[in-house]
Amino acid sequence: MSQKARITKIRKILKNTYPDVKTQLNYRNPFELLVATILSAQCTDKQVNAVTETLFKQLKTPNDFAGAPLEIIEELIRPTGYFRNKARSIKNCAKVITEKYKGQVPARLEELVNLPGVGRKTANVVLGAAFGIPGIVVDTHVARISKRLGLTANNDPVKIEFDLMEVIPQKEWSDFSLWLIYFGRAICKARKPACPACPFYDLCDYPDKDKIFSEH
């Protein structure tokens, strides 16, 4: 099987397995999604949603966040971990959005990645979910599974992103990332992947899969 045919089969299986995918973060507008995505670093979506339920009742707009004392933001987001750095990033990000973009989150990658605390991963989440602009989101699941499936040989998230952009149709970029995230949470886990139940067993380059299979 050619690499192109192999990737087509992978995409088809993922799409059929997860026909309706969307970010698990709760949000009502692009700014709330931006804040939630910053908070999601080293934190579960479930925990972020629990925090933002209260956070967005007290601080509703970029102007609210920009004007709030740093200590208040820190206390509100403390359960997400790394709360001091996250609070500083969110407050500074809100200032730039308020002053430079009149309170509106920009819808261009080049502008998003220049906001404090916003990298390509966060920018692509916001572009895809809030603006419908496809982007490859490389989180730990996407990075891990892309390597196991032989779609990339790189470890750097940006290099992985560009590798995937070359082989996945642009219209599927956002969905493909979510497919891998869903798949990583359910089957292709970091420490104990469920290789015997994996639909990609014959397509996967993961060297330990035979050992895992034999243990079942």
The maximal CA–CA distance of the chain, rounded, in angstroms, is: 59
For the chain, report the end-to-end CA distance as a whole number of angstroms. Answer: 28
Element (H, E) at 100: helix 83-100
Q: Active site includes 46?
A: no
Q: Active site includes 147?
A: no
Q: Which of 121, 163, 175, 209 is catalytic?
A: 121
**In the chain, beta strands by DSSP E:** none
The closest alpha carbon to 142, from 128, 127, 161, belongs to 161
Q: Which of 9, 95, 139, 147 is catalytic?
A: 139
Which amino acids are annotated catalytic?
Answer: 121, 139
